[in-house]
Chains A and B, each alone.
Chain A
Amino acid sequence: MFDIRLVSKAALADARFGQSGAIGPKGPGVVLSALPETSLLSLLAAPDAVALLERLAALATHEQAQLRSAGYAQWLLIGAVGTSLDLVAIEAALGRDAALVDLGHARVRISIAGPSAADALAKGCAIDLDPEAFPPGRSAQTLLGHIGVHLTRIGPEAFELIVMRSFALNLWQDLLVLSRAFGVDARAATDL
């Protein structure tokens, strides 16, 4: 007999969705989307690893995954939606050159996009988000308010946040507040 029944549930299932804030005639300045939960791997290079970035890039292509820089000699590998990363194959390919940690159930991804997305993020984060300083493809591990986030610019007006699961709902609420002045459309993962 179990006292508590464990239920598999998306971290942002109970988040507040819908439109709010000062939406102007051009529509919401910010579109916030809970991204589908995928497999996610943290990779840390061994000190004597050789050409690891090139090998990781090849692995990412092979797995149809996305590779993100996560600081000195650290990366995140994000599996495609609806599939699982082949951990056995990845481990075999990298051998002792990298330490792997499966963060699939430990992190949640949020998309923040729209003409005012950078302005909303700038209220809570110290990264210079000018496209010259932080172009598409660039990532940074940093703080948004008091919450640690991994931030990536996906496009000129689109960003991805990766946050620890237990902070996801708190971050979502913060993002709604930061975006209120621009008008915000907050979408559930199932709406994508």
Chain B
Amino acid sequence: MASLLSCPHCGTRPREEFTVRGDATLIRPAADAPQSEWEAYVFLRDNPRGWHKEHWHHTGGCRRWLVVERHTVSHAIRSVVDAGMRA
């Protein structure tokens, strides 16, 4: 397997078991926030080279949402935590 990820609940699994949703650092605006803020939240994304926090879903395993701190060039992984349990 070329690409592995360690799920905090299931252990090390191949990338095929996961679905990537993208940026985990976005903060949802208030319901009455200006339209420009909502546009940025829904549509505008950076494409970082280097360390990045992403939401990964363990679709083929425990089906929990995870926050993965991953290097976008080397795929090195610094941390994986359950999205519902991060401080």
Contact = CB atoms under 8 A, between A and B. Distances in A.
Interface of A: 70-72, 74, 126, 140-143, 148
Nearest to A71: B62
B61 A71 contact: yes
Given A141-B60, A141-B61, A148-B60, A72 B9 contact: yes
B37 interface: no
Interface of B: 1, 9-10, 13-14, 16-17, 58, 60-64, 82
Contacts of B60: 141-143, 148
Give the dominant DSSP class at B's interface: loop
Contacts, number: 35
Interface of A is mostly: strand
B82 A142 contact: no
Contacts of B14: 126, 143
Contacts of A142: 10, 13, 17, 60-61
Given A71-B61, A143-B17, 11 more contacts: A71-B9, A71-B63, A71-B64, A72-B64, A74-B63, A126-B17, A141-B10, A141-B61, A142-B13, A142-B60, A142-B61
A74 B10 CA distance: 12
Given A126-B1, A141-B62, A143-B60, A72 B82 contact: yes
